[in-house]
Amino acid sequence: MSKHNIKIFADGADRAGILALYETRQVDGFTTNPTLMRKAGVTDYESFARDILQVVRDVPVSLEVFSDEFADMRRQALEIAGWGENVYVKIPITTTDGASSAVLIRGLSQERVKLNVTAILTLDQVYEVREALIPGTPAVVSVFAGRIADTGVDPIPVMRRAKEILAPLTSAELLWASCREALNIRHAERAGCDIITVGHDILKKTSLFGKDLTELSLETVRMFHQDAMAAGFRL
């Protein structure tokens, strides 16, 4: 599992990458979403998910509903939850027209469905989720810290406050979502988050953690030189 002071969930939909990370035990869980699946060329949602779950059975895997109607979202959530004991069903905090998913979240939590409430960006939404979740039912609360940062707002104080809001709900874990760089792992640790989702490409960069910067500088200079020679540049 990860060697950090926080759980690392790999975020992606590359089958080979997911299975490689699982086999080498580099991460503590996996998340994906319809956008990542589409980018990866997934055309059959259920077949892709079940294929992964045949191998990945003992760490959390978050899979998202994609309906925009509450009744159908509930149907999809129950079906997805039935694919494995390690499955967390991702429920967006609102529908596409902004209607709150709180009632749906409460109902599913009452039915002991493990949830990953996603696309959260405000502390009001964190409060709303806290009130909707049922104590004792495992849940993940995914706050999109990276997207908060994209607006020019420092997400660390937001995440610290989110952790305080969720403190009474011991069955819920706070997740730093939309990781933009490897340093965000350290940011999430300092903010007290329980989990951070990290894309496969950023995960590779964590191999540099603790590396001597003088050595890294030399490697960078050598890379520039080698590429210039390989390109045949002349002046």
3-state class of 133 per DSSP?
Answer: coil
3-state class of 186 per DSSP?
Answer: helix
Kindly tell me if the per-residue pLDDT of 3 is higher than 90: no
Kindly state the average pLDDT of the residues 203-222.
96
Report the top-level CATH class of 7-208: alpha beta
Q: Is the Cβ–Cβ distance between 9 and 195 less than 8 Å?
A: yes
Kindly state the average pLDDT of the residues 112-126.
98
Band (pLDDT 50/70/90 cuts) for residue 1 is: low
CA torsion through residues 169, 175, 177, 179, sign: positive
Whole-number average pLDDT of the chain: 97
Secondary structure string (H, E, C) spanning 10-69: EECCCHHHHHHHHHCCCCCEEECCHHHHHHCCCCCHHHHHHHHHHHCCCCCEEEECCCCC
Kindly state the average pLDDT of the residues 127-137.
98
Q: Is the Cβ–Cβ distance between 162 and 143 less than 8 Å?
A: yes
Kindly tell me if the per-residue pLDDT of 10 is higher than 80: yes
* Tokens found for residue 32: 């994906």
CA–CA gap between residue 85 and residue 25 (Å, rounded): 19
Residue 63 to residues 53, 155, 230, Cα–Cα distance (Å): 11, 25, 44
